[in-house]
Amino acid sequence: MKFKITLAILCCATFSFANEALIKKAKDSGLKAIPANKSELMKLIDTDPKDPITDAKVELGKKLYFDPRLSRSNLISCNTCHNLALGGADGVPAAIGHGWTANPFHLNSPTVYNSVFFKAQFWDGRSPHLADQAAGPIQAGPEMAAPPALVEQRINSIPAYVEEFKNAYGKDTKVDFKIITETIATFEKTLVTPSRFDDFLNGDSKALTKAEQDGLNLFLSKGCTACHTGIALGGTMQPFQIANQYKFISVGGFKGDENGMVKTPTLRNITQTAPYFHNGQFWSLSDAIKEMGSVQLGIKINDAEASKIITFLKTLDGRMPDFVYPQLPASTEETAKPTFD
């Protein structure tokens, strides 16, 4: 009996040591956890001392995020393409916007969850700022197609909105396009989804099962962290088609930035954000993993290996923020009417 107890203790100690070694390996490979401590998390997301995150700004930003009146047609909100009930994406290969127009480059809508951790916004990485990301689709013809002046007119024509801006920013606040998009970005900064993977990296060696740890180890060993690294496991600009040509490169004709660099998608909540790649051509996560092995790493990942990696990726399904769909303030007679041209 004593021998069995001793053996069990030794097995547990060995397993714990192996877990700790894997945590170190993951961190050494560039993976970082979302901080478990709220104050540490706020240090990462609340970085502008001139515009600190407050409950009033977050609540106002949430209303604006869900408000379709920020689009020309009064039909499209930020949540249309970045649906918070669908992993922060829209579940279609190419974003659909004003006039039922598909994105001209057949670009897929990236998730908005954890976008505060991205080093680059947009597939071509043209801005690092969330407010710019919010401003772009609102104005873009194939998306929300609303000029800044129209957005400003609509918001300022609604007294309840004007009052909320004064409460959030001060009584002398001018409600212009800049502060509107910055407020949306403030809400988006709070869309953080810590997961069991973070628990594991933060020191809970039992947060992942043996199979999940094996998947993580394989993910690291295959070299996936060459692109999928940091807190977001993505969100940085990386060269595309390093080893082989992407199977569907001709769909949409997107070439990346001027240097052929493309923003690496986050792997957080990846099981919820199909279809995959910038042009949404892969619906199978297993096939997407195998394609990445070929295109970026120049290696063959077989079905069994892809399955093990997926077992790990499922641990990145995070704990979603809990919020209530907002009741939006009513329009007035002065609020600009929708147009559909």
Average pLDDT over residues 309-322: 97
Average pLDDT over residues 65-88: 98
pLDDT of residue 323: 86
195: tokens are 């997961």
Contact assessment for residue 2 and residue 9, using Cβ atoms and an 8 Å cutoff: no
Q: Is the domain of 123 the same as that of 80?
A: yes
Q: Is the domain of 51 the same as that of 162?
A: yes
pLDDT of residue 18: 72
Q: Is residue 23 part of a domain?
A: no
pLDDT digits (tens, 9 = 90+) for 198-245: 999 999 999 999 999 999 999 999 999 999 999 999 999 999 999 999
- What phi and psi, each to the nearest 5 degrees, are found at residue 97? -125, -145
Average pLDDT over residues 12-29: 80
Binding residues for heme c: 78, 81-82, 98, 224, 227-228, 292
178: tokens are 């800049």
Work out the pLDDT band at 10, boundaries 50, 70, 90: very low
Q: How far apart are the first and last CA of the chain?
A: 81
User: What mean pLDDT value characterizes the chain?
Assistant: 95
Residue where a domain stops, chosen among 146, 167, 190: 190
Q: Is residue 81 part of a domain?
A: yes
Work out the pLDDT band at 159, boundaries 50, 70, 90: very high
Domain that holds residue 202: 31-40+194-316
Q: Is the domain of 67 the same as that of 176?
A: yes
Average pLDDT over residues 102-127: 96
Q: Is the domain of 245 the same as that of 148?
A: no
Work out the pLDDT band at 6, boundaries 50, 70, 90: low
pLDDT digits (tens, 9 = 90+) for 257-285: 999 999 999 999 999 999 999 999 999 99
Average pLDDT over residues 98-116: 97
Known catalytic residue: 143?
yes
CA pair distance 37, 61, nearest whole angstrom: 24
Q: Is residue 4 part of a domain?
A: no
Q: Is the domain of 202 the same as that of 286?
A: yes
Report CA 22 to chain centroid distance, whole Å: 26
Q: Is the domain of 276 the same as that of 254?
A: yes
Among the options 59, 143, 258, 291, which is catalytic? 143
Q: Is the domain of 64 the same as that of 87?
A: yes
pTM for this model (two decimals): 0.93
Q: Which H or E run includes 75?
A: none
Q: Is the domain of 209 the same as that of 179?
A: no
Work out the pLDDT band at 339, boundaries 50, 70, 90: very high
Contact assessment for residue 120 and residue 136, using Cβ atoms and an 8 Å cutoff: no
pLDDT of residue 187: 98
Contact assessment for residue 107 and residue 95, using Cβ atoms and an 8 Å cutoff: yes
* Distances, alpha carbon 301 to alpha carbons 223, 269, 307, in Å: 12, 21, 10
Any idea what the CATH number is for the domain that residue 133 is in?
1.10.760.10
Q: Is residue 119 part of a domain?
A: yes
pLDDT of residue 51: 93
Q: Which residues are CB-contacts of 13 (< 8 A; sequence separation ≥ 6)? A: none
Q: Is residue 301 part of a domain?
A: yes
Q: Is the domain of 185 the same as that of 311?
A: no
Q: Is residue 113 part of a domain?
A: yes
Q: Is the domain of 74 the same as that of 164?
A: yes
Q: How many structural domains does the chain have?
A: 2
Q: Is the domain of 165 the same as that of 226?
A: no
CA pair distance 152, 298, nearest whole angstrom: 50
